[in-house]
Structure 1
Amino acid sequence: MEPTTKVEKLYALIDDMAVTIQEHTDRTYLESLAEAGENLFQGKVVQEIPENHKDKLEKQLQEETPEEIKREEIRKAFQLAVIKGMKEAVQPHHAMTPDAVALFMGYLVQKLVKKKEHVTLLDPALGTANLTTAVLNQLSKEAVTYGVEADETLLKLAFVISNLQEYEVELFHQDSIEQLSVPPVDVIVSDLPVGYYPKEHVAENFELKAKKGQSYVHHLMIEKAVQSLKESGYMVLLIPNFMFESEEASALNEYIKKHAITLGLLQLPSSMFKSEQFGKSIWILQKKGKEAVQPRQALLAELPSFTRQDALLDMVRQIDKWFSDELNID
């Protein structure tokens, strides 16, 4: 079927380029996709591949690059290609935040920072910057943005995807639990990695280190995130539902009570997940500080299926009312 929308056309182009680069180099599809993004950015093929294939790609670049393409269309085209690449990747941490969830998290961040003149934002588990740019695409103001990612391939993809959307995201190739060279920020938004953290000598320095055995990477990242926020700063995190039922849950609850306020917990529709054990929620927190607001009632809800437009619109109205009533944000 011929691609018809700009998203489909751009996806077809970058996929063709990535496949050709993969066939003629020793790169994986995801690495080749980052190279395809670089070609798009430069407007020419910069890889050393056979001349006839290079000429073909150059011609495609000139003829098939959609004109006047929007940021969201670029993000969605690359998202499709990244999903394809992740199917062949063996690393368990290569996973993408579902599109509807990324957009919903963007809506929440936009509400939280509405009254701020200047915004600084961090994702300590950046991945390909899909979630971060989805959030930035919904902000009505510019944000100084930082992203930290330990995986070099994902970081390269984040670089080209941010560049093509004309965002200046300051990128750090780091393990954000061991090292986080970022100044304190107003907002942290992240799809938290889940599992055990292998560097026990690093975990030793955390309040949320496990009482015995390996510590949870998602717990340590929450502690690091709290440390990286300005006073009264916000966190919008995608977390696994089982996080509050694990053997370390009481320590996490105590830590949060001491350092932050839970503004809300929105459970994603179960239809999004293969089984209940993979379910996730969006956790909205505010670090304690002079401007922090303790709501009379936290925002607790189970979101309807994102395909049920009427139910979702009704939920958004209720959330808007909560923001107005509890946080005085219209």
Structure 2
Amino acid sequence: MNDFSKVETLFQVIDQTALILRKELDCSYLEAVAETGENLFHGDVLQDELDEVTVRRLKKEYDKISLDRTESELIRKGYQLAILKGMKEAIQPNHQMTPDTVGMFMSYLVGKFMHNHSTYTVLDPVIGTGNLLTTVLNGQNKVEQAYGVDVDELLIKLAYVSANLQKHPIQFFNQDSLQPLFIDPVDLVVADLPVGYYPNDEGAKEYRLKADEGHSYAHHLLIEQSLNYVKEGGYVMALVPNNLFESEEAPKLHEFLKEATVIQGLIQLPLSIFKQESHAKSIFILQKKGADVEAPKQALLVDLPKFTNKEAMGKMMGEIDQWFAVNKR
């Protein structure tokens, strides 16, 4: 069976069993996806309230796949397809899953920036369903410990199940990411930052990037929080809105970043991967200042072509590799 068939089979099993569980447990499709994922991981049907006929139906479906003989990346893709189906039922734009192509490109950048580390720790402070972090982990083999934080109980449960299925040792925290975290500083933060206002004005007062009046920008505060929990010399790689430096709060953000970080790069993603141009994002790469941190001769400023344009992408990857050869030996 080829990789595409394996992903399709895995999705079909998750989908069919989730539909059964949704009906029997009277829950949402996404809640049922988390339940069936737990069953797959434990190799059993955990829901005590189900009758024998339903249990047999579920086990018959589960027998169609073998997780032990399936690569983590294929498991991620099959599970992700089911989550995407569930999210189409109705979800806020900030809960959209990070596109696969972006996650894979982030993983490539992580490998490049972290190549001098024998092992490292990583945090995603807004992990959502875990798709971005597990994509990065599937492309790397040096991660010693990973952490994920999210305030949404269902999303973090989906992330937890996904991590279990892929055998990733991620430690999860179900809490507001802008409250104090019980996590030691890490070597790397990766995040797809939700864009909008942070409603907790009292909590925002703890941040230098709080707004002078009204609600503060959550994505600004999350950049500051990420830098709070990364070591000196560590990296923050975040998906940020393209208009990050166009708001009325931008001067304050610019001043803060100049004082606390070295800007390593800003990579604008192709507009074609976003449903609306107003939702378009870039990968912002920051390095927290420290004793041995040097600014690059020139920041990595890239406007990526469409990922489907192989010739243009190949040329661009060559230019990026050349930048690393000059700036990150």
Query: Same fold per TM (> 0.5)?
Result: yes
Q: Which residue of 2 aligns with 1:257?
A: 258
Quote the Cα distance in structure 2 between the aligned partners of 1:4 and 1:183. 39
Distance change in 2, residues 1:243/1:19 (3 Å): same
TM alignment of 1:80-229, pairs within 5 A: 80-229=81-230
1:220-274 deviation line (CA, Å, top 9, x unaligned): 1100001111000001111111111111111111110010011000001111223
Mark the runs of 5 or more structure 2 residues left unpaired by the alignment: none
**1:236 counterpart SS class:** strand
Distance of 2:269 and 2:244 partners within structure 1? 14
3-state secondary structure, aligned to 2:224: helix
Deviations 1:13-47 (A, max 9, x none): 00111111111113211111111110110112111
Residues 304, 150 of structure 1: alpha-carbon distance in 2 compared, 3 angstrom cutoff: same
Amino acid at match of 1:85: G
Give the drift of 1:91: 4.0
Q: Which stretch shows the higher mean deviation, 134-143 or 232-241?
A: 134-143
Deviation at 1:92, TM superposition (A): 4.3
Query: Is 2:34 the counterpart of 1:34?
Result: yes
2:46 alignment counterpart: 46
Q: Distance in 1 between matches of 2:302 and 2:64?
A: 48
Distance 1:26 1:152 in 2: 18
Shift in Å, 1:66: 6.2
2-side partners of 1:117 and 1:57: how far apart? 43
CA gap of 1:20–1:187, structure 2 versus 1, over 3 A, is same
- Distance in 1 (CA, whole Å) between partners of 2:266 and 2:203 is 29
**Counterpart amino acid of 1:23?**
K
2:10 is matched with: 10
Q: How many angstroms does 1:67 deviate by? A: 6.2
Further displaced range: 64-73 or 144-153: 64-73
How much has 1:65 moved relative to structure 2? 4.2
- Equivalents in 1 of 2:250, 2:161: separation in Å? 38
Any stretches of 5+ residues in structure 1 without a counterpart?
A: none
Q: Find the counterpart in structure 2 of residue 71 from structure 1.
A: 72
| Cα deviation digits, residues 39-91 of structure 1 (max 9, x gap) | 11011211122332221111111234466110100011111111111111344
Task: Give TM-score scaled by structure 1 length.
Answer: 0.96
SS at structure 2 position matched to 1:88: coil
Cα offset, 1:94, TM superposition: 2.0
For this pair of structures, how many residues does the alignment match? 326
User: Partner amino acid for 2:53?
Assistant: N
CA positional deviation for 1:181: 1.3
Q: Shift in Å at residue 118 of structure 1?
A: 2.0
CA contact (8 A) 1:241 1:279 kept: yes
Contact preservation (8 Å) 1:293, 1:327: no
